[in-house]
Chains A and B, each alone.
Chain A
Amino acid sequence: MIFFKYFGYVWLLIFALPLFLLGAYTLLGLFISFESIQYFMRPSFINVMLHSITLSALVALLSLFLGLGVGLGFYTLKTKLFKLLYILLLMISFVLQPIILLSTFQGIDLFLHRDAFLQSLCIFVMHLTPLSGLAFIYIFSTLNSLSLQSALAIAPLKYSIQYIIFPQLKPYIGSVFMLLFILVFIDQAVPSILGYRTYTEDLLAQMTLMENMKHIALAALPSYFLVGILIFLWSRVKKHLHLQTYIATITNTKLQFPWYWLGASMLLFGVLYLVWIIISLSMETFTIAYDSYLEENLDVIGTSIGFSFSTAFVTLGIALMMQHILEKYASRFLHISIFIMLLFYLFIPHALLSLLLLDIYQWLGYFSVFMDYVVFFMGYIFILLPTALFLLTMLHILEKEDVFLDFFPISVFHKWRKIVFPQMYLKWLLILFILMVFSLNELSVSILLIPPGFETMIVKIYNLLHYGDKPSIAFLSLVQLCFMICFFTLIGWISQRVSL
């Protein structure tokens, strides 16, 4: 399929464009005012950098550990219904925005009077453990189930973890940790609400002083440094990886762990948590007239959900094509380049990326309402694409496909339609779901690129938070939660035909 090949390459170029532009601006900025670099060497900046690294590392570590437990819990459940319910409940904290989780938890006295660091830690762990858990559920499905189960049947728990589970998980842990670390590192909303100063918040404050892109682009300097460190660490870890272990037993894994209490207790906790969240949010909405609220907010709900679905869908499609091109045609050099670009995208503050896109829009020189929407759509794709590629790469979904594809002498289009899609669609739907959540919760693009007259739920929620209109916030959060639960149930219903 020549079309797919070239389309994939075109996207690789589009993907690289803002980074080239950023690099050029940074160099120009350094050339014009080299003394700006001193800002990043000040003790106060190093201090907030350490704040962010500490918080991100601890959240990643805790979420990783808890996610491992959540992943194990899933495989202790026996019936498909319980497994579906388990994943559904798991997703609640991930679907709700961290600021909504925060306002819900602030009603609890024990939480309210804790230190800002501890509160931020709790909220982030709550929000990201589901993602880590979901990753581990997938990862377990790629492990050698036979050796695991036979060993688990005879060895004590401690030895099972030390000698059987951990060695098999080792190659994946770095990827999950890195993703969790970056997601916390670039998020400034919750810590800044709580008064815990972070790197991103400090950088944004510094950006307010700068009046042109050459100076604003200097804000990306720490990203170069951090990406450099991560690439170095990754290259060290990579030596110890056994890539063959990724190629898997795939969809029909019948993995089962014997600790039934784990899954059962987590399921119970999940049910109680869902009930508590729904009650907390509903209590806030008692004073409102649902029909008038729905009528008032129908537009924003419809457009936001529709928009997040379309952006997630298109992003997934592009990510699959890019991944396919990378696996089939690209050189090792291109692989490494894409990986580095991907890390950059994950580390750059979204506000900076949005400003770069606005700059490219100015260069294009063709302005219309339609183009406003195109740029807005592209903004979301640029934000979501690294995550989509990261998830696809982490799970090595396409590597598995290629094993099959190579055996069939038919066109790529037919292979995808007849072989790949039926096997992979459930996993793609789950990635689509994750991307939708990220899309719904993206704030910077929503403000800096939103077309005039268009409204998103995230901007509305933030504005209502400012006004203190808790009933409306709770109502919108409930709607978002219910929609995502319905979407997830639909995935579950579809999955009735395949084994989990």
Chain B
Amino acid sequence: MINIRYISMFIFVLLILSCSQNKEKRIIIYTSVDQVYAAKIFKDFEHKTGIKVLAVYDTEASKAIGLEKRILAEKAHPRADIFWNSEPIRTVRLAKQGLFQAYSDIKLPMYKDTLYYASDKTWFGIGERKRVIIVNTNLVLPQDYPTQLNDIWHEKFKAKVAMSSPYIGTAATHFTALYHRYGATVFQALLATMKKAKTKYLAGNSVVKESVGIGKYAIGLVDSDDAIAGIVAGLPLKMFYYDQEDKGSFSIFGTVAMLKSAQNTTEAKQFLHYLLTQETEQKLIDIGAVQFSVLKHATLSSPKGWSINPEVLWHDLNISYTFMKAAL
């Protein structure tokens, strides 16, 4: 009898808990933007609007199978209202599956280029970083500092170069873009050169930055935010925007989208309204999450760079993977 009583009480408590409704205004955001940066933006948004942000963060280590897969798994019944991604290609991949809804309350002419937003207004760009070369200043002489991307695969740096695994995160976007820009033959030759140079592929950009910083490797290929975080932390690093005499460094921008059937649509719109402004983007630049703007009115000058419209690029993701799997 005692057991039945306890079990009934337990079930009753569970029912009460499951039925209770929280009246507080809130929004659910899935984000792969670094927690240290995103949390500051969420706090500011909460302060300004009184809407509570319930965030789910990704980690660099799980970028291979993180929030993108969660959103896909929740396709039939989305739990998130907003997906704020640190790169564009996976957002577009989800958009092509019809997972996002359009947000019309935005002035598209504020963007520098049409590649920073979807023509059907299902996703928008926010903040830009560049792929950069970092060198350990204790291990590389100034006269050997690389200025071109191809310099880092020179014989003299053999087995001394590290980069994030080209299957994950921004490195995947970068290599897909290289495939798109140069075509299969040149891309395969590049992969062969990288293999010959005994390039090491590590778990993420931050790991590359750390490994180059402590002297395990002499040179690394990372994102500008990782490089700057390393320099600020006191690591003996120097950062280079490569190919400045050609098309410049590859640029990657963050993206944000509102989920179809979002449960808190009004709040989600408020968040987009808050995030997609020059003021918030500047805040992201100030805290170091991104280095450059995707908007027209930005005052900050940017080194030379190139990017490819993710609406076009996402088709090539699987093809570039196939080449990389075969070559690396």
Contacts and interface: CB of A to CB of B under 8 A. Distances in A.
B103 interface: no
Interface in A408-456: 443-444, 447-448, 450-453, 455
A55 interface: no
A207 interface: yes
Contacts of A195: 162, 200-202
Nearest to B233: A468
B64 A208 contact: yes
A400 B249 CA distance: 67
B167 A205 contact: yes
Interface in A462-484: 462-470
Contacts of B210: 468
A211 B201 CA distance: 24
B214 interface: yes
A51 to B, nearest CB: 13
B190 interface: no
Nearest to B65: A351
A205 B172 CA distance: 10
A216 B58 CA distance: 19
B164 to A, nearest CB: 10
A459 B59 contact: yes
Pick the most buried of B17, B58, B216: most chain A CB atoms within 10 A of its CB.
Answer: B216
Nearest to B234: A468
Given A113-B216, A370-B17, A468 B206 contact: yes
Interface string B304-328: 0000000000000110010001101
B61 A189 contact: yes
B64 A207 contact: yes
Interface in B72-86: 72-77, 79-80
B165 A448 contact: no
B157 interface: no
Interface string B174-214: 00000000000000000000000000111111110110001
A474 to B, nearest CB: 13
A289 interface: no
Contacts of A462: 59-62
Given A452-B79, A468-B230, A192 B165 contact: yes
B60 A371 contact: no
Chain A: interface residue count, which band? 35 or more
Interface stretch (A76-84, A156-164, A246-254, A355-363): A355-363
Given A443-B59, A459-B57, A207 B65 contact: yes
B76 A362 contact: yes
A244 interface: no
Contacts of B326: 42, 44
Contact of B74 (A212, A358, A468): A358
A192 B55 contact: no
Contacts of A466: 34, 59-60, 204-206, 226
Kindly name the residue among B53, B56, B74 whose own CB sees the greatest number of chain A CB atoms within 10 A.
B56
B233 to A, nearest CB: 5
B259 interface: no
A44 B321 CA distance: 13
A358 B73 contact: yes
A350 to B, nearest CB: 10
Contacts of B28: 452-453
Interface in A73-103: none
Contacts of A233: none
B154 interface: no
B74 A362 contact: yes
Contacts of B14: 370
Interface in A178-215: 189, 192-195, 197, 201, 204-205, 207-209, 211-213
B70 interface: yes
B51 interface: no
Contact of A443 (B62, B75, B97, B162): B62
Contact of A212 (B72, B77, B202): B72
A351 B74 CA distance: 15
In the A-B complex, the 8 residue pairs with the closest CB atoms? A453-B54, A452-B54, A205-B167, A462-B59, A463-B35, A358-B73, A192-B203, A195-B200
15 contacts: A112-B214, A194-B202, A205-B321, A207-B64, A216-B69, A351-B69, A355-B69, A371-B18, A443-B61, A447-B70, A448-B70, A452-B80, A459-B35, A463-B57, A466-B60
